[in-house]
Structure 1
Amino acid sequence: MGYRVVVVGATGNVGREMLNILAEREFPIDEIAAVASPRSQGTEIDFGETGRRLKVKNIENFDFTGWDIALFAAGSGPTAIHAPRAAASGCVVIDNSSLYRMDPDVPLVVPEVNPDAIDGYKNKMIIANPNCSTAQMVVALKPLHDAARIKRVVVATYQSVSGAGKDGMDELFEQTRAIYMPSGEMSDPKKFTKQIAFNVIPHIDVFLDDGSTKEEWKMIAETKKILDPKIKISATCVRVPVFVGHSEALNIEFEDEISAEEAQNILREAPGVMLIDKREDGGYITPIECVGDDATYVSRVREDPTVDSGLSLWCVSDNLRKGAALNAVQIAELLGRRHLKKG
Structure 2
Amino acid sequence: MSEIDFLRTRPHRVVVLALDGVYPFELGIPNRVFPCVPGAYDVVTCAATDDRTVATSADFTVTLGHGPEALESADTVVVPPYDMARISQEVPGPVAAALARIRPGARIVSICTGAFTLAAAGLLDGRPATTHWALAPRFRRMFPQVALDPDVLFIDDGDVLTSAGAASGVDVCLHIVRADHGSAVANSVARQCVVPPWRDGGQAQYIEQPVPEESATGTAATRAWALENLERPLALQELADHARMSRRTFARRFQDETGVSPGRWLIQQRVHRARHLLETSDLAIDRIAAEVGFATGTSLRQHLHAAIGVSPQAYRNTFRATAVGRG
- What TM-score comes out, normalization by structure 1 length? 0.33
User: Which has more strand, going by share of residues?
Assistant: 1
Greater Rg, structure 1 or structure 2? 2
- What TM-score comes out, normalization by structure 2 length? 0.34
User: Which has more helix, going by share of residues?
Assistant: 2
Question: Structure with the greater relative contact order (CA < 8 A, sep ≥ 6): 1 or 2?
Answer: 1
